[in-house]
A = this chain, B = another copy of it.
Amino acid sequence: MSTKKTSLKDIAQKAGVSTALVSYVLNGKEKESRVGQEIAIKIRQIAAELNYQPNHLAKSLRSGKTHTIGLIIADISNPFFANIARVVEDEAKHNGYTVIIGSSDENADKSRDLLDVLINRQVDGFIIVSSEHSELQIHYLKDKNIPFVLLDRYFPEIQTDFVSTDHYQASYEAGVHLIKNGYRRIGMIAYDSQMFHMQERIRGYLDSFENNKLESKKSWLKQIRITNIENGVKEAIDELMNANEPVDSLLFATYSLAINGLKYINELKLRVPADLGIVSFGQAEVFELYQCPITYLKQPIVLLGKTAVELLVKKLKDNVNEPAQILMKAELIERASSESKPNSSI
């Protein structure tokens, strides 16, 4: 096996022409560059014979384009992000792009590191699920004119392209759904985060009371540290259930919170929905498997991912810069965990 990759030069030599000519032909520029018919055919044939594969590195070095997209997410081992990654991977490939994925662990420093590594690798652009306190990075990208699209989360005070779920409306819908089904003391477990998407989820929850002329208690909203999920969720549930008047239902703001919460609810031998109605963000097969299938807010993952890639690719190709800001609706998938209360009114 002669292992040497064949280069333009090899083809040129074999055809008895210059590399320039070969390049023109193989890039389909024979017309513009007035290459002879016969020699063009010959070149193509030799290229095929030698199984020529252009060297991406050389191409990229010259053109400044790597046809690579950097995808920064919180954690690829989280099903929500894994699914996003899959969609982005497929859609990018479809457009001739390769994806490099990096997990930031919701940590601004890590995401900054990732950004640097990937910029260094000359990715053409980014799709980013932002972490808390990463505003500076976004400004940096804007200043440096590096194309990017924010996914699922955005900063309302920064003017950027983004594709996101309408977190407010999703949460609001969840609240209304529970109220409609007769629940009155609805707790919410969310992260203690200033990220806009989390604030929106909380706002939606709170507004669902207000707009239905119900009172809510501050103590029903529990915000826990992302660094202390397991214990945080347990404590939150303990407090909510041991209160004078315990909550009758619970809204989980994320998949991870739900996983931990549901586990603990199992341990406590609480019956769902009899003792506790449940609605959660984040779809997953998991929710179908629980003692009682869980009602959840299904985010339009495929559409989110596809749209983000499309947007980015358009920016990369056309170099256009009309910012696109797209909000998509989540769908409430009703399951048994939030069933109508037996003697419910409204």
Q: Which residues of A contact B (CB under 8 A)?
A: 1, 3, 53-58, 60-61, 66, 75-79, 82-83, 85-86, 89-90, 93, 98-103, 117, 119-122, 143-145, 259, 262-263, 266, 285-286, 288-291, 293
A145 and B3 in contact, given A58-B61, A120-B56 (Cβ under 8 angstroms): yes
A101 and B89 in contact, given A1-B143, A286-B286 (Cβ under 8 angstroms): yes
Q: With A and B bound together, what is the CA distance between A102 and B89 in angstroms?
A: 8
A82 and B77 in contact, given A57-B122, A259-B285, A263-B288 (Cβ under 8 angstroms): yes
Query: Which residue of B75, B100, B289 is within 8 Å of A263 (Cβ)?
Result: B289
Decide: B288 and A289 in contact? CB cutoff 8 A. Answer: no
Residue of B nearest to A142 (CB): B1
Within 8 Å CB of A288, what residues of B?
263, 266
Decide: B77 and A86 in contact? CB cutoff 8 A. Answer: yes
Residue of B nearest to A265 (CB): B289
Decide: A89 and B76 in contact? CB cutoff 8 A. Answer: yes
Within 8 Å CB of A100, what residues of B?
98-100
A85 and B89 in contact, given A61-B61, A286-B285 (Cβ under 8 angstroms): no
Q: With A and B bound together, what is the CA distance between A39 and B201 in angstroms?
A: 58
- Report A144 CB to chain B, min CB distance, Å: 6
Q: With A and B bound together, what is the CA distance between A63 and B187 in angstroms?
A: 59
- Report A304 CB to chain B, min CB distance, Å: 14
- Report A255 CB to chain B, min CB distance, Å: 10
Decide: B79 and A75 in contact? CB cutoff 8 A. Answer: no
Q: With A and B bound together, what is the CA distance between A289 and B93 in angstroms?
A: 36
Q: With A and B bound together, what is the CA distance between A100 and B67 in angstroms?
A: 13
Decide: B76 and A103 in contact? CB cutoff 8 A. Answer: no
- Report A79 CB to chain B, min CB distance, Å: 6
Decide: B98 and A117 in contact? CB cutoff 8 A. Answer: yes
Within 8 Å CB of A79, what residues of B?
77, 79, 82
Residue of B nearest to A293 (CB): B266
Q: List 21 A-B contacts (CB under 8 A).
A: A1-B144, A54-B120, A56-B121, A57-B60, A57-B66, A58-B61, A76-B85, A76-B86, A77-B83, A79-B79, A79-B82, A82-B82, A89-B101, A89-B103, A98-B100, A98-B121, A263-B285, A263-B288, A263-B289, A286-B289, A289-B290
Query: Which residue of B76, B122, B289 is within 8 Å of A262 (Cβ)?
Result: B289
Decide: B289 and A266 in contact? CB cutoff 8 A. Answer: yes
Within 8 Å CB of A143, what residues of B?
1
- Report A68 CB to chain B, min CB distance, Å: 8
